[in-house]
Chain A
Amino acid sequence: MKDWLSRYGPSLLVFVVLLAAWEFATTNGYLKPYRFPAPSKIAMGFVEIASEGFPEDLTIWVHTRTTVGRILQGYIAAVGLAIPLGFLIGAFSTLEKLTAPLIIFGRSIATLSLLPLVIVWFGTGELTKVVLIGYGCFWTMISNVIAGVKYVDPVLIRAARTFGVSGPALFWRVILPAALPRIFAGARMALGVGFMVIVGAEMIGTVEGLGALIMEARNFYRSEITIIGMLVIGIIGFLIASGLLHLEKMLIPWDTGLDEVRR
């Protein structure tokens, strides 16, 4: 408990002081309440949205469940597609040369700029949102899988060759495990992209989901609800990323080299 306090105490104090200053500034008219709703207002908004819901009957829990569901569907589809494709492209340099421009091109298109087209293709239903999220995650993921496979330390490959290991065995026993840390880093970055895309993806044809909640709150000048939506997205993102990090530490206990990418 004492350890915990000395470790997190100071940063917690800064946080509390900032909140107090914010509250003081809004209630005393230094900040406009509709621009910067006071922390107390946000807290009351949270109670409202957790019990009655906003809009009517759609509580924060429903919004959260819907959003997490959409992100996971798009994310898992993207990762599931990017891993085998990335292995294939990374393993064959000809394939890598052929697809490199396409991948840079695809990665460069801002996901949300596809929104009008995706609506034309898939309508305004669930699929559109999942496709947009999946699109965003896919390019980040596949770039990292390819790089992971491609940039394996050549010394390790040479060492394996001295034991007569080559071909598919070289891939499974050396290249794949050597690429794992990078693949995991990619999986975490891709998840981040999923969370960035969600607000835009939920702009169209729905009032359900945290992104939709943020847009809907804007229409009703409820900036405190917008802030709640932002906070909840941040918290879920943080929780899922920590979960992935734990999984990673369990699955690749040997790795220490990618600590800075991990954050």
Chain B
Amino acid sequence: MSTDAGFIELNDINMRFGLPAEALPVVLQGIDLSIAQNEFVSIVGRSGCGKTTLLNIVAGLVEATTGTVTIAGNQVRGPGQGQGVVFQQHALFPWLTAMGNVEFGCRKADISKSEKREVCRQLLDLVGLSHAADKYPRELSGGMQQRVAIARALALDPEILLMDEPFGALDELTRIELQQELLRVWDARKKTVIFVTHSITEALILSDRVILLSPHPGRVFKDYQITLPRPRIRTDPAFNAMYQEIWEGLSA
């Protein structure tokens, strides 16, 4: 494989649900994407443009009708190939405590139980929840639940973090807080992130690159490199100019 190939490569991904004979609408068409290691990429698009499906294909949870995904040169054939996933709903196991949920994610067989515990404690610490280790998900606020979900995904020690509108259900303030938190984690742990969102602001705050999908069928419509310096300021004129550009792309 060539040296300038991306860390994650999507080659001509096509997706339709059901049998081809049923003539169901095509969900994704001819998606080619190349994502570099440690890049933070947001995927933005209207509802029904196949963002979540695309993420699930990279996660190995859904198989594309045609086309391939490779991670570091290895073709994705299922989950557990270095993809950590954070879902829209927190998807925490209600019968496990915050700690138990993170431990569920820690699948390393070669370390002792106490070492495992230590790793998970550090992860809870990283997301600012070491005080809530023994709480059940239902005892946590929405923001805290999503923090645990992030820690649990990180426990897999994944190279890639796939996030499907993870902050969509949170209130504005918690959302801003978690965006900052995520950037801190991204900085500390050096992950490649694919982040699906409805929010242009969220994409601009977080990403190195924003990819616009057009609906019916889902196609890569625009690919923006975001070169604004970090930390990004929402009221910065350059930020707003970029916002406007993406908005116009989205409305086109």
Contacts and interface: CB of A to CB of B under 8 A. Distances in A.
Nearest to B100: A254
B84 A162 contact: yes
Interface string B91-126: 111111000000011010000000000000000000
Given A162-B79, A162-B80, A163-B107, A177 B93 contact: yes
A99 B155 CA distance: 41
B38 interface: no
A97 to B, nearest CB: 21
Which bracket fits the contact residues of B?
20 to 34
Which bracket fits the contact residues of A?
10 to 19
A255 B83 contact: no
Nearest to B155: A163
Interface string A252-263: 111110000000
A161 interface: yes
B72 interface: no
Given A155-B91, A177-B95, A178-B95, A163 B61 contact: no
Contact of A159 (B91, B95, B136): B91
Task: Please classify the interface of chain B as helix (H, G, I), strand (E, B), loop, or mixed, using the class held by over half of its residues.
Answer: loop
Given A178-B94, A255-B94, 5 more contacts: A161-B61, A163-B80, A164-B107, A177-B95, A254-B137
A254 B80 contact: no
A158 interface: yes
Contacts of B94: 178, 254-255
B61 A162 contact: yes
Contact of A256 (B61, B107, B138, B153): B138
B85 interface: yes
Nearest to B59: A162
Contacts of B85: 159, 162
A72 interface: no
Contacts of B93: 156, 159-160, 174, 177-178
B87 A158 contact: yes
A70 B83 CA distance: 55
Top 4 closest pairs, chain A to chain B, by CB: A164-B80, A159-B91, A177-B95, A162-B85
Contacts of A252: 95
Nearest to B93: A156
A162 B84 CA distance: 7
B95 A163 contact: no
12 contacts: A161-B80, A162-B59, A162-B84, A162-B156, A163-B79, A178-B93, A178-B94, A254-B94, A254-B95, A254-B137, A255-B94, A255-B95
